[in-house]
Amino acid sequence: MTWEILFVFALLIFAITSFIWERISADLTSMTVFGVLLFVSMITESDALPTLDATLGVFGNSAPLTIAGMFIVSAALERTGAIDLITGYLRKLVKFPYRGFIFIMVIGVAAVSAFVNNTPVVIVLMPVILSLSREMGVASSKLLIPLSYASIFGGTCTLLGTSTNLLASGILRDAGHEPIGMFELAAVGLPILTFGTVYLVLFGNKLLPHRETLTSILSDEERKEFITEAFIRAGSDLHGRTAREGNLLKKRGIRLLEIVRHGIAVPGDPKEQKLQYGDRLVLACRPSGVAEAHSMKGITMQSELAEGLETIATDEGALVEGVVAPHASVSGLTLGEINFRQRFRMVVVAVHRKGTNQRERLSSLRLQAGDTLLMMGSTEAIDALANSDDIIILDRPRVPARSQRLKMPIVICTTVAIVIMATINLVPIVAAVCLGVALILLSGCMKAKDAYASVEWSILIIIFGMLALGQAMDSTGASLLIAEKMTSLVGHFAPEQHQNLIMLALIYIITSTFTEFLSNNAAVALMVPIALGIAMHLGVDPRPFVVASCIAASASFATPIGYQTNTYVYGVGGYRFFDFTRIGLPLNLICFVVTVTAVPLFWDF
């Protein structure tokens, strides 16, 4: 074993550990791997490691460009209201029993997700599903996981269904094989959709938990509050004392949400901050507490102030839930850095992340895409936030402007044209997608800056980093070494006539395990080169193994972190981690059996 192989294995272990540990983001991990490969290949000039030009050659892979283009097409479908077409049909189903609703919802969502990126489909439909759950009298937790799973089912049916399929197709083509056809994966995807739908219809209601949303952490009285702003007047005894020391918190029906000083929210727990003359206090008061607030000594609540300070407003407050959008500019920042109160005129009461509700130290918590925020604000502030690209309000679906809706036929026709051109092999799929994006931008369906903002660059960084690592594993012989060890292990205990099938099952299991804890794109980028090496060592066609990797990378149901759509419904539905394992693990087993059974029937080894 050469030092180059040991070096690549060390990078591989670092990447896997970092992905699971989550101390640094997945894209930063991939960028680190990419940078280390470039640096080591330059200073060692090893014949085994890829050269600088070869490593940079991963940017010539057409798959990431195709994926970026499909992000833009999916965003255009969302912005023009094309995805909303399904909501009209769903609203007609509220009178159906639970099982009938789940059946039609899963089929409808899967059909859309087969041609549109999964994430915008789930994000657009989440507010609709939450609204319908209230009309049906069903807990939203009974519907949101099926929504995410349905989008995953659809992604297994076509080449465009998910970025992992496009990535695997690109790697396969670069290895000298035919790329995956537009509907080639449907031979496995449609059975998975069928059995998965039947499973959710029959067992979903029993296995899915009855969970409350984030607002359940507040009492009924807390939900009926007014937002009131007061200020500490000159000469007040409260100057230099905390709200607790000044007995402001002993009044019933009053909560101190925030202290604003010189137009900036004071960081930290507002109850423990020393008050100063002129401080503006943001109070949440129940109807009975408004009168109490007016009677408190040391503060003033008047519409006109002799001191010349800003006008104080008292508005009826409302609690709403919102999700941090995938491309939000606030992602990675704390509430203090965002100046959330002044920017959105809303107060964050709690944050839900990875199954836990957080109400302490919110000012220092860095927001992440998928975080669910419980916010309080006036009706006007909520209406303004509903049009934001940063926070998705969950109780009101976004309605595209009329000018955008008029562009819907153009986007739909463009998407259909991309599918047709790729299906009949008129042009390579990357050319079809690039041409479609150009048409969308030229026709004014999207602005260029909005199109660039819709691309999930972090996913592309992960892809490039893992492609470089996969290339290094191939050039150093690490992939072939893994393939030899795996085939040797299987050869020791399995009859020769069953070795291909057992190897297919093994590739599926390893990819599926990686996907549940790593990025699905990282799993494909690492496993497809190994699958190619195994096929070469066995002397068989690699296509069945690559197809198994594609399906396994998409069929992620047992954890909320394996697939982005699972992560989004995780916070919104108030789920716990093992809620996904309880219903998703049997579904993983179903997909495994379907894949291992169907692949040998349609693809010869």
Ordered by start, the domain boundaries in the chain are 66-212+402-454, 234-306
Q: Residue 527: which H helix or E strand, with range?
A: helix 520-538
Distance CA(605)–CA(597), nearest Å, equals: 13
The secondary structure of residue 312, as a DSSP letter, is P
Q: Residue 594: which H helix or E strand, with range?
A: helix 577-602
The answer to whether 366 and 333 have CB atoms below 8 angstroms apart is: yes
Q: How far apart are the first and last CA of the chain?
A: 30
Distance CA(564)–CA(225), nearest Å, equals: 35
Q: What b/e string do you get for 414-437 counting C-beta neighbours within 10 Å, with b at 16 or more?
A: bbeebbebbeeeeeebbebbbbbb
> In order along the chain (605 residues), what is the average pLDDT of each group of 10 residues?
87 88 84 91 79 82 89 88 77 84 93 87 84 83 93 92 90 89 94 96 90 52 56 79 73 72 77 83 63 60 36 52 80 82 77 64 76 78 78 70 77 92 88 94 90 87 89 86 85 81 93 85 88 88 94 89 82 81 94 95 89
Question: Beta strands 346-353 and 280-285: pairing type?
Answer: unpaired
Per DSSP, the residues of 243-288 read TTTTTGGGSTTEEEEEEEETTEEPPS-GGGSPP-TTPEEEEEE-HH
pLDDT at res. 600: 94
Distance CA(85)–CA(82), nearest Å, equals: 6
Distance CA(82)–CA(63), nearest Å, equals: 25
Residues whose CB falls within 8 Å of the CB of residue 496, separated by 6 or more in sequence, listed in order: none
Cα–Cα distances in Å, from 131 out to 90, 122, 161, 211? 11, 14, 27, 16
Q: Hey, which CATH number is domain 234-306, 3.40.605.10, 3.30.499.10, 3.30.70.1450, 3.90.105.10?
A: 3.30.70.1450
Helices first, then strands: H and E counts in the chain: 26, 10
